Chain A
Amino acid sequence: MAAPQTEALRADIGGLVDRLGPGRASLVPILQDIKRRYHEIDAETMQVVAEALDIHPVEVYSVASFYAFLGSRPQGVHVIRLCGTLSCDFAGKDAVAEALRRELGVEFGETTADGQVTLEWASCIGMCDQGPALLVDDDVHTRVTPDDVRAIVAACRADQRRADA
């Protein structure tokens, strides 16, 4: 990648380390923030974060790859996570899943070609009494029907940036 982007990345990570402190405990919050802004924690990011916290890059990779909301693979600007656990299953998550696949044209675990939306399964998101439930980034949608999917996806496609990024 071009140097100016690296400089911007370094500045961002530097800012995060200043705010959160240079201790190991800052690693997860730093990666969470990076993921929000860049939708990806790539090898270069891991290197820069490792230097800032004085740990080995493989340590950063090991943590990033452990957590479902971090991950080392690139994601879209928005992530739709459909709850796959039993109560949402009983409530009809399969039909919602099919509508999401159709509307987005991707399988679960994939990102749309325009880099705008990633579709994933989530483990129980604590909306079991109001399923099927899904998360769009940090926002919860409950009692989702296949008919609701079009509007949910359209909103993701229209919104070029995460509101909280």
Chain B
Amino acid sequence: MLEPIARAVQKNTAFRALCRPFANTWVNLSGYRRLGLRYDDLLREEMPIIQEAIARLNRDETDARVYRQKRAFQLSLSHQELPRSAWTKPEDDYKYLQPLIEDVRLEQAERDAFNSMTVVRK
């Protein structure tokens, strides 16, 4: 119910233009970049769809992801932050997992559609 509204709002160019000046500040305030994480590291990985997407990452990306998470856990445990120079740079904070999640989502939707279709013979 809410998802279409959310998508419509996200795609609204006026809304996006309004938010853009604050976007970077907002992300910096959320703090994950100070632990060296990327946004896609924070997605709920216990969901089956994300599990599947993670399984499709290549070896280098998986290793880097595990390394970032371990480092972040350690920093969090010891109540520390990375030095400013080691924070995740905005250009490194790209969506490495979300395209894969989208692929898996579409595949599952397709599978559901095929499993519940009615065949019309012309």
A and B bind: no
Chain A residues packing against B (C-beta within 8 Å)? none
